[in-house]
Each structure stands twice: as structure tokens, then as C-alpha cells.
Amino acid sequence: MSYVNPTDFAKKMIDSGVTKVSMSTKETLIRAYMAGAILTLAAAFAVTVTVNTRNPLIGTLLFPAGFSMLYLLGFDLLTGVFTLVPLALIDRRRGVTPKGMLRNWRLVFCGNFAGAFTVAIFMAIIVTFGWSEAPNAVGEKIGHIGEGRTVGCAAHGAAGMLTLFVRAGMCNWMGSTSVVAVMMSTSVSVGNYIVNMFLFPAGLLLGGNFTIGD
């Protein structure tokens, strides 16, 4: 792999931001849908491996594989466009406007959520044999994670909300930096909101002790 100096790398990031803004609605939604699905499949895989091996470190090491895959395939996470598109806007690239940036963010959010929600439904079906029996160990773990990230923080009041805010900020920061940082974010339990798009609906479908309001 050839070395890319920081200046050239920054230019590539800005060029990528321009490309994201100029994509059609259909292409943006498809790329975002696939990214949301792949990342949440990786999360489901990590939870499954953790439950079956009883070793959280293995799940933490495997989760970034999904992150790497979706970026190699050119799919878009909200985490990525939060970084790339503003760079193009700051550089005053032609065709990149605040309105275009917000449009891109909105479409990517919708696509990510749709992909994550699809995986949540599929996983709920798998771990309950089509809702014909109680969730297995993996399903119970997913439900407990959803509880911990909602009512678990709510129990601490304003301090819990502050913790959620800091976790989300750290995850977005590290996720925008590198895949290695994503590995760090999973090991220190910061909150990836795209993964939460999977964990919360899946937890509710699997009987987690929290509500949509939570």
C-alpha cells in the first residue's frame, strides 16, 4: 500500500464529500441501507459470538470487520457523511451547500435506519423461531443491551443523559477516525447510534423491559 501524505488524504476526503452530496436520492438511500444492514449484522454477529464463547473480547475484535466491509464496498454511514460532507462545505466546493448537506444527512439517516430495522426484524425471527418460543440466549442478551442503554441510563437522571451524550460523541469521533478506533469504541462501551437503530427495535421485539418512549 502506497503512502498518502496528510494533505493528499484531506483532499481525497473533501472530494469524497462532494461525491456524497451529488449522488441521486436513489443511490444515496441504497448505499445507506446496505451500510446500516451490514454494520448491524456485524453487531448481531459480535453479540452471538460473545454469548457463545463467553468472551466479550472476541466479539469486540470481530465487530470492525463489518465496518471495514461497508467502507470497502463504498456504502455510507451517517458517521462518515457527518465528517466528509462538512469538509467539502468548509472548502467551498462548487455544488456543496448547507441545504445539500442536510439533504444528504437526512437520506443517509433514513437508509441506515431502514437497513438496521430490517436486520432487527430478521434477528428477532431467528432467535425466537418466528416468535413461536421465548428468545434464546442471544435474543435475551440483545434485549438486555437495549434496556441498559435506555432505562439503565434514565435511572441516573440528568447524569445518565449526560453519559449518553458523551458516549455518542466519543463513538462518532472515534468512528470517524479509523476502524481501529471503532474497535476501541466497542470495547469501552460507547454508543454507536446506528447500532442502536438495531438494538432498540430488536430489544422491543424480543420483550425488552423498556418502551419506545425510553
pLDDT above 70: percentage of residues in the chain: 88
- Give the list of residues 6+ apart from residue 208 with CB closer than 8 angstroms, or none: 142, 143, 144, 146, 147
Residue 31 has pLDDT above 60, yes or no: yes
> What is the model's pLDDT at position 117?
95
3-class secondary structure per residue, the chain: CCCCCHHHHHHHHHHHHHHHHHCCHHHHHHHHHHHHHHHHHHHHHHHHHHHHHCCHHHHHHHCHHHHHHHHHCCCCCHHHHHHHHHHHHHCCCCCCCHHHHHHHHHHHHHHHHHHHHHHHHHHHHHHHCCCCCCCCHHHHHHHHHHHHCCHHHHCCCHHHHHHHHHHHHHHHHHHHHCHHHHHHHHHCCCCCHHHHHHHHHHHHHCCCCCCCCC
> What is the model's pLDDT at position 86?
92
- Residue identified by cell 481501529 is 180
> Bigger pLDDT: 176 or 79?
79
What pTM value is reported for the model?
Answer: 0.83
Name the CA dihedral angle for 187, 75, 142, 184, rounded to a multiple of 10 degrees.
0
> Bigger pLDDT: 54 or 165?
54
> Bigger pLDDT: 50 or 61?
50
> Bigger pLDDT: 196 or 151?
196
In the numeric block, which cell numbers belong to residue 71?
467502507
Task: Give residue-wise pLDDT tens across range 111-136.
Answer: 999 999 999 999 999 999 999 999 99
CA-based nearest residue to 104, from 33, 29, 12, 171: 29
Lowest mean pLDDT among 94-108, 113-127, 191-205: 191-205
Q: Predicted confidence band at 214 (pLDDT cuts at 50, 70, 90)?
A: low
> Bigger pLDDT: 2 or 118?
118
- Residue identified by cell 466479550 is 56
Rounded CA gap, 103 and 106, in Å?
5
Average pLDDT of the segment spanning 65-69: 81
Task: Give residue-wise pLDDT tens across range 148-192.
Answer: 777 767 777 888 778 878 877 777 776 666 544 444 444 434 456
Which of 56-60, 107-111, 170-174, 208-212 has the highest mean predicted lDDT (pLDDT)? 107-111
> What is the model's pLDDT at position 103?
97
Q: Where are the domains of the chain?
A: 6-205
> What's the half-sphere exposure (Cβ side, CA atoms, 13 Å) at 202?
38
Q: How far apart are the first and last CA of the chain?
A: 46
CA-based nearest residue to 185, from 204, 167, 164, 160: 167
CATH number, domain 6-205, options 1.20.1080.10, 3.40.50.10490, 2.40.40.20, 3.20.20.80: 1.20.1080.10
